[in-house]
Structure 1
Amino acid sequence: MKKKALLTPPRSLFWFSWKLLVTFSLALCIFALVSLHSSPSTTDLASASLSRRLRPPSDSFLGRPKIAFLFLTRRNLPLDFLWGSFFENGDVANFSIYIHSAPGFVFDESTTRSHFFFGRQLENSIQVAWGKSSMIAAERLLLEAALEDPANQRFILLSDSCVPLYNFSYIYSYLMASPKSFVDSFLDAKEGRYNPKMSPAIPKSKWRKGSQWISLIRSHAEVVVDDDIIFPIFGLFCKRRPPVDESKGIMNTKLQKQHNCIPDEHYVQTLLALNELEGELERRTVTYTLWNQSTTKMENKGWHPITFTYANAGPRQVKEIKGIDHVYYETEFRTEWCRNNSTFVPCFLFARKFSQGAAMRLLSEGVVSHFDASALLDKNTS
């Protein structure tokens, strides 16, 4: 039987196909190497997820500026009746409200007594635990949401137990009159919370401590949201030491040797110091907290703020808080006289922690009273 001859292409065609294949393969390899070198890892992408939005420049907004009130809550807002009265006396064009609550919690007629909070919860909230990086992650989510509105030019972080000490017009004038952020920030010389493993990204000379209750100008809020370097380092190396548990006996000795760090008391302060922005800060908070310092060895037992109840939230106590005009920072031997755009002012606009009974007393006795803000504005415009 005669076999059929196979039809074969000319030799030159084989050679051309081979060269084409080699060239294509080489191009793919080069592309892969370049992509590997320039593309961030999965971890980097996750940590940078907040920073990829396009936003207008901080100084581009020319309309009426707003204050973004950022509530960091466990679940609901137990003092919503007081805040409702506060916002009722403000111009709705001058403020925005954002709430980070437990995932899935919705603010509506069944969960809050004030319409100002309806639907103001974040849709992408996370589970938050005290003393963990989830706390600063929630703060960043609040700032990210508020930055979407270019009218928001001041950002104030508040807890679910905070109360205003003045009416809306005074607080608005106070914050808008200053070109600076109000961030409690001082050298952490005694606590030993700095972890050397943070170096070189976070040198010890830039390590700061302070209250997490901050008020930021827009450009500083953008620095916090756009950070994709310092936040992951905090997640790795700034962790709270487990509290003493008597049931663990001798194991407590080992647990208490772990490095101890509370992320929300260091993150924003350290980040702004690293960005050489401390000259743009009033290095104090505008939210008053009364700390219980009566016990010893606080690092083991924990410092806790005193809660104001109906009995100790009267006119005298509130007047004393309003009368504070300076803060002393022991680790820096520094007295911070409270100024606003070079004008001496009361230090605090808000206070915590207030119970529902204390908040009711503030309303019933008119403690959170109206204040003539014109004097402050006149001093800053003269």
Structure 2
Amino acid sequence: MKKKVVQQRWKQKVFGLILVVVLCFGSLLFMQMRYTHVLGLVSLQHQFVSQSQVQIPKIAFLFIARNRLPLEMVWDAFFRGGNNNFSILVHPRPGFVLNEATTRSSYFLNRQVNNSIQVDWGEASMIEAERILLRHALGDPLNDRFVFLSDSCIPLYNFSYTYDYIMSTPTSFVDSFADTKGGRYNPKMDPVIPVYNWRKGSQWAVLTRKHAKVVVEDETVFPMFQKYCKKKPLPRILEGSSHSR
């Protein structure tokens, strides 16, 4: 009888020990599963945050206009495919505001610079207007390319093609060629601008951010243009006919 009692107690102890081991193992397994689950959530969250922090460079479209943009609806259709990978700035005549009364496109609303100047064709004021646009555009760190446009320019391709084409090269697009016509170069610009560096080109260019900063920070070349680059006065006959109109 006493032997049976001892065996029964021994079995109870063994059962209790097995139960404790099972409970400990189950708790350990549960904790491991919870840890794996939490680790997975943290990993997904980190991946999501990393993806959301990826910032896509933008193209700054910089318009030099007189007043309204006559082809604004063409540009409106163009910008609809842009996925916000662009910014817009307009340099109009001083005092002109792009509001609901002066533009039909929401992309151009209030996109004018407020420190615009009077721009005259053939004068250094055109360069200064572009420098003003660049100063504003460089304020956005995501602007990586800077495209100068007139109010008569239109896009020939859709936004995605234009974006990929411009962004695919690390260089600027600048029209520059030797000026074979005499009389344009002023010898007084030497030695800051020597004659062998004298070039002619279009003001409608595409600049990288590096080159845009060079243009804005320049305090050597541009003052020479302001001082000596003047458009030739009209002949008196033409000048008189223009006044008579």
TM-based fold match above 0.5: yes
Q: 2:207 aligns to what SS in structure 1? A: strand
1:173 aligns with 2:164: yes
TM-superposed CA distance for 1:212, in Å, is 1.1
Q: 1:209 maps to what in 2? A: 200
Deviation at 1:192, TM superposition (A): 3.4
1:146-179 deviations in whole A, cap 9, x for unaligned? 0111100000000000000000000000000010
Which residue matches 1:226? 217
1:244 aligns with 2:223: no
Unpaired runs of at least 5, structure 2 = 1-53, 241-245
- Largest Rg, 1 or 2: 2
Matched with 2:80 is 88
1:148 aligns with: 139
Structure 1 residues 196 and 153, CA gap change in structure 2 (3 angstroms): same
Q: Secondary structure at the residue paired with 2:59?
A: strand
1:85-115 Cα shifts (integer Å, max 9, x gaps): 11012211x1000000011111111100100
TM-score normalised over the length of structure 1: 0.48
> RMSD of the TM alignment (CA)?
1.4
CA distance in 2: counterparts of 1:225 and 1:121, whole angstroms: 19
Which residue is equivalent to 1:120? 111
Taking structure 2 as the reference length, what is the TM-score of the superposition?
0.74
Aligned to 2:98: 107
Question: Structure 1 CA distance, aligned partners of 2:206 and 2:106?
Answer: 24
Q: Report the identity percentage.
A: 59
Provide the aligned length of Structure 1 versus Structure 2. Answer: 187
Letter in 2 for 1:98: L
After TM superposition, the structure 1 = structure 2 runs for residues 177-192 of structure 1, keeping only pairs within 5 Å, are 177-192=168-183
1:63 to 55, 65, 74: 55
* Distance in 1, Cα, partners of 2:200 & 2:124: 15
**CA, structure 1 residues 185+115, in 2 after alignment: closer, same or farther (shift >3 Å)?**
same
Q: Residues 55-101 of structure 1: CA distance to partner in whole angstroms, max 9, x if unpaired?
A: xxxxxxx7310000000001110111111111012211x10000000
Q: How does 1:1-382 map to 2 (within 5 A)?
A: 63-92=55-84, 94-246=85-237
Q: Secondary structure at the match of 1:155?
A: strand
Deviation at 1:239, TM superposition (A): 0.5
